[in-house]
């Protein structure tokens, strides 16, 4: 079970962070209407989170 938890946590965290990212993207897109630039920011943000873990 410990191995399962070890693999489950990063996957769950990734899903949550991407979902959170999509919300930010949608909100920013409505305000600024610059989707490509924000998407790049989002990817960098996710990569930084992964590196911190």
pLDDT, position 11: 81
| 19-26 long-range contacts, CB within 8 A, separation 24+ | 21/45, 21/46
What was the pLDDT predicted at 22? 78
Write down the pTM of the prediction: 0.35
Query: How do the domains of the chain map onto residue ranges?
Result: 2-52
pLDDT tens for each residue of 1-51: 576 677 777 788 888 887 887 787 777 666 665 545 555 666 666 666 667
């Amino acid at each position: 079970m410990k191995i399962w938890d070890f693999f489950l946590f990063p996957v769950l965290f990734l899903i949550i962070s991407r979902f959170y990212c999509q919300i930010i993207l949608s909100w920013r897109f409505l305000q600024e209407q610059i989707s490509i630039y924000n998407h790049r920011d989002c990817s960098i943000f996710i990569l930084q989170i992964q590196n911190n873990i």
